[in-house]
Amino acid sequence: MTIKVIGQMSAILIILAMLNNHAKSEDCKGGKNNILLVVDEEQKNSDTVSPDKPVIGSVEVIRGEDVTGTLCVSVGMLGFKLIEARDNMTLQDSMGFYVELVSGDDPKRVSTYNEEGPIMAEEGTLWVNFGDDRTKPIDFTFRIASVDQAGNVGEWSSPIKVTHPGIKANKDGGGCSSVATSDRSIILLMLVLIVAIYWRRRNIWNQL
């Protein structure tokens, strides 16, 4: 009987562990993990021509989660749409880019990846992450330079100004749900069933 009790309690602990891991995986998703350009050493020896100045179109602003009253970290994203980036040897989809913050409020919270290397576009868009308080306005100015596969860096683009007025906070404190309601309901139902089965079997054992 002791072994059966241990088995039932172990099942409950496993479900609780699943709940905890699911909460971590769903907790405050945000930001982009950019792919860095890898310089081709063979082209580096043969190509010394720098790319043209890139042409940037619109900028998509995605504000971070409303995390009032939670332990989540709010991450916003800026998406720079590439109109044209030309080079004598490297195709646009194979090029990298340096994104530099020229001016703006609290520039330390903007991740441009420049120290790690030039980033590559994702489906024609360059993504930059920034620590965000969605209720406050933002005002940044950037410039972007193309990098070919040989590592040649082109001229900086014209200044790109990015502004957003901010988003009003939710009345209920908002955002960053750790576990979806439907998932939580299913897991809790499983726990109730396990506990009910355990107590039923325990009563049967006591009557024997």
What tens digit of pLDDT does each residue of 134-156 get?
Answer: 888 999 999 999 999 999 999 99
Structural domain of 9: 2-23+179-207
Interatomic CA distance for residues 174 and 133, integer angstroms: 13
What tens digit of pLDDT does each residue of 52-104 get?
Answer: 999 999 999 998 875 444 445 588 999 999 999 999 999 999 999 999 999 98
Cβ-Cβ contacts under 8 Å for 185 (sequence gap 6 or more): none
Interatomic CA distance for residues 28 and 99, integer angstroms: 25
pTM: 0.66
Mode of pairing for the β-strands spanning 119-120 and 160-164: unpaired
Q: Do 14 and 65 lie in a common domain?
A: no
Q: Do 53 and 142 lie in a common domain?
A: yes
Is 66 contained in some domain? yes
Q: Do 18 and 48 lie in a common domain?
A: no
Is 172 contained in some domain? no
Q: What is the CATH number of the domain that holds 96?
A: 2.60.40.10
Q: Do 139 and 85 lie in a common domain?
A: yes
pLDDT of the residue at 19:
47
What average pLDDT score do residues 106-122 get? 84
